[in-house]
C-alpha cells in the first residue's frame, strides 16, 4: 500500500490549487458574535455558486446558438444541482433568531444581497431584466459594464425560443426580435409551442428534454428565492432591509416573476 506524499518544499499542491489561504483570509467578521461567521461563510459560498451558475448559463446559451439542445440540457442539469446546493446553504442560518442577527446586523451597514452583481447576472441570464437594478454598480466600472452588456444580451430563454423557431415552431417575430433589455412579455403562441413539444414529442426528444431541464432550473430557482424570503422573515420579520428595500416585501414581489413563464402556463393548456 502506497502512503501519501508528505514532504513538499513549499505550500502543498492542494493549498496552491484551491487557494486556501485566500479563502480563509476572506472570513473577516466585524464583531465577536458567534453567528456572524456562519452568516459570512453562507453568503460567500452563495457568491461563488452565483459565479459558477453564471458561467454555466452562458455556456448553455452558446450550445443553444449552435443548435445543440442536448448539450444545453446537460449544462442545465448541472445548474439544477448547483441550485440545490444554494438552497441547502440556507440551512446553516436556520437557528439565527432576530436577537442573534441584530447583534451584528448594524455592522453590515448598507450591505445587502440585493447588491450582488453575480446574482444579478444570473437573474438577467434567466430573463429577469431590469435596468434600474444595475445602477448600484455604477461605482464599479467593470462590474457595471458587464451587467450592462448582460442586460442588453439575449437571455437563456431568448436563445431557447430562437432554437424553437429554427426547429419549425411558429414563434412570433415580435418575440424573437424584442429588445433583450426590456422585461419579457409572455405570448400565447409560445405557450402553444410548448404544448406541442409536450404532447407531440416525448421523453428522449431533444426539445422535450430541454423543456424539462428548463423547468427544473426554474423550479429550483424559485425554491432558492423562497428559502431566502423565509430566512429574512425568520431573522428580521418585516423590517426595512439593510440595502434600503422593503426587505421581505421586496422579496415577495420578486418571487411573483416566473422565469420561462410559458413553460408553466402551458401545463394548464395541456
> pTM for the full model?
0.90
181-225 pLDDT, tens digit per residue, is 998 999 999 999 999 999 988 888 999 999 999 999 999 999 999
Domain positions in the chain are 34-103+155-269
Beta carbons of 147 and 118 less than 8 angstroms apart: no
User: Which residues does the annotation place in the binding site for substrate?
Assistant: 105, 242
CA distances from residue 261 to 22, 28, 108, 233, 257 in whole angstroms, order as listed: 41, 41, 35, 27, 8
With CA atoms as reference, report the closest residue to 86 among 40, 112, 117, 47: 47
User: Which residues does the annotation place in the binding site?
Assistant: 105, 228, 242
User: Which residues does the annotation place in the binding site for heme?
Assistant: 228
H or E element in which residue 223 lies:
helix 206-236
User: Topology of 34-103+155-269 in CATH?
Assistant: Methane Monooxygenase Hydroxylase; Chain G, domain 1 (1.20.58)
Write down the pLDDT at residue 253.
60
With CA atoms as reference, report the closest residue to 128 among 257, 268, 225: 257
Which residues of the chain are modeled with pLDDT < 70?
111, 113, 238-251, 253-256
Dig out the grid coordinates for 142 from the structure: 467593470
Write the CB contacts of 83 (distance below 8 Å, at least 6 apart in sequence). 53, 217, 220, 221, 223, 224
Torsion 79-83-89-91 (CA) sign: negative
Beta carbons of 231 and 90 less than 8 angstroms apart: yes
Dig out the grid coordinates for 224 from the structure: 432558492
Write down the pLDDT at residue 113.
67
Amino acid at each position: 500500500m502506497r502512503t501519501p506524499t508528505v514532504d513538499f518544499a513549499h505550500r502543498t499542491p492542494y493549498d496552491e490549487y484551491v487557494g486556501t489561504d485566500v479563502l480563509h483570509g476572506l472570513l473577516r467578521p466585524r464583531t465577536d458574535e458567534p453567528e456572524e461567521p456562519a452568516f459570512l461563510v453562507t453568503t460567500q459560498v452563495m457568491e461563488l455558486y452565483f459565479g459558477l451558475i453564471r458561467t454555466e448559463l452562458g455556456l448553455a446559451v452558446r450550445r443553444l446558438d449552435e443548435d445543440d439542445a442536448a448539450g444545453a440540457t446537460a449544462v442545465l442539469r448541472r445548474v439544477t444541482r448547483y441550485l440545490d446546493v444554494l438552497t441547502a446553504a440556507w440551512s446553516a442560518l436556520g437557528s439565527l433568531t432576530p436577537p442573534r442577527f441584530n447583534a451584528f446586523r448594524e455592522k453590515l451597514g448598507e450591505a445587502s444581497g440585493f447588491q450582488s452583481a453575480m446574482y444579478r447576472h444570473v437573474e438577467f441570464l434567466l430573463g429577469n431584466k431590469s435596468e434600474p437594478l444595475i445602477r448600484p454598480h455604477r461605482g464599479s466600472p467593470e462590474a457595471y459594464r458587464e451587467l450592462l452588456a448582460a442586460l442588453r444580451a439575449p437571455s437563456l430563454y431568448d436563445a431557447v425560443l430562437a432554437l424553437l423557431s429554427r426547429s419549425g415552431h411558429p414563434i412570433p417575430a415580435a418575440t424573437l426580435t424584442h429588445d433583450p433589455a426590456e422585461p419579457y412579455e409572455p405570448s400565447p403562441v409560445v405557450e402553444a409551442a410548448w404544448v406541442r413539444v409536450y404532447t407531440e414529442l416525448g421523453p428522449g426528444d431533444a426539445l422535450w428534454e430541454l423543456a424539462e431541464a428548463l423547468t427544473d432550473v426554474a423550479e429550483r430557482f424559485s425554491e432558492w428565492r423562497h428559502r431566502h424570503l423565509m430566512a429574512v422573515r425568520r431573522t428580521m420579520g418585516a423590517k426595512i432591509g439593510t440595502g434600503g428595500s422593503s426587505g421581505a416585501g421586496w422579496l415577495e414581489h420578486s418571487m411573483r416573476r416566473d422565469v420561462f413563464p410559458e413553460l408553466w402556463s402551458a401545463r394548464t393548456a395541456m
